[in-house]
Structures are given as structure tokens and as C-alpha cells.
Amino acid sequence: MLLRHGIWSGISAGDRNSGGIGRWRVDDTLTVIRKRVDEVNVVFTVTDKRDHFVKDLTQNDFRVFDDSKPALSIQSFNRQTNLPLRVGLLIDASNSVRDRFKFEQEAAIEFLNQIIRPRFDKAFVIGFDTTPEVTQDFSDDAERSPKACACCARAAAPPCMTPSTSPAATS
């Protein structure tokens, strides 16, 4: 198995210069903060030879080393799968895509309908021509996606009227 991606938090600049990770040049104009760290969060993804995700690993499948010495303990081991998605969808409404815009809208709607799970995931939609316009703020409501994508056709025009922004609703 191959450790594919890793985010190592809690490694201070002083640790980087100690030689264990390689040589990092610290600019003399930067402030260096040195801090003893007793716990480090390590977020990673594991894939097999065929680049398929390996999802059923347990803490016993890993050995953790710090400066070539086994770590004293692993305080916590959690699988973070099936997490809520936060998706931003940008739709080009410029003249350069005019001939393909209907296809672009339909693809965007289908994409959002397939990936956004109600009461779990959220998405926002921004249409742009010369300026961006948020046509749907973060929402898990699949019913709003087609309207938001349709509003992108008028992204350069005045904002789309929704029940909450229409003149009738505000008077």
C-alpha cells in the first residue's frame, strides 16, 4: 500500500530545520516560532497498486515513527469517510459558451442532483459573465439548483428575482 496524500499539522519551522524532513531554508526576515508539540494530527489517504482507495484499515495496520523512533502512542484513530460535502459550482454564462450554455446548465443541474444529499451536503452556485453573481447560496435543496443554474444565463444582468428578493416580497 502507498501513503498517497498527507497533511502533517503541528510541525514547527524549528522541527523542519532539524534535518529529519530535509533542508528548509528559513528567510531571515520571517519570524520563526518554536513550540514543543505533544500531539500531531495526521490526515492521509491510502490507495492500492491500482489507485483504488483502501477504506477498511484500522489502527493496527499502521506504524508511526517520530525521528525514526516508534511513536509512544496513538491517542486517537478515526476514519473520516462519508463526510458532508461543501461544493461550489461556477457556471460560465459568457458569450464564449453561448452555443453550449444549455448543455452546461443541464450538466450542472444533473451534477448537483447526483452529489448533493439532502440535509447532509450543501452547494452554492455562481454564474459569471463579466462579473460573478451568487445565484444560490449554500443549500441542500435540490429543487433550487435548476433555478440557480437558469439564473446564470442572466449573470451579467440584474440579479435573478426570487420570492425573497422580489419587489412584491419587500413591499
Q: Give tens-digit pLDDT for 91-141.
A: 888 888 888 888 888 898 899 888 889 889 999 999 888 888 898 889 888
Superfamily in which the 86-165 domain is placed by CATH: von Willebrand factor, type A domain (3.40.50.410)
**pLDDT tier at 4 (50, 70, 90 boundaries)?**
very low
| Structural domain boundaries in the chain | 1-81, 86-165
3-state secondary structure at position 8: strand
Closest CA to 147 of 157, 159, 156: 159
The predicted model scores a pTM of 0.49
Say how many Å lie between the first and final Cα of the chain, rounded.
63
Amino acid 14: pLDDT: 38
For the chain, counts of helices (H) and of strands (E): 4, 7
pLDDT exceeds 60 at position 26: no
- What type of residue is 27? D
Amino acid 143: pLDDT: 75
- Bridge partners, residue 139, by sequence: 123
Closest CA to 129 of 99, 104, 152, 148: 152
Indicate the length of the chain as a whole number: 171
Q: For residues 155 and 129, what is the distance between their CA atoms, to the nearest angstrom?
A: 6
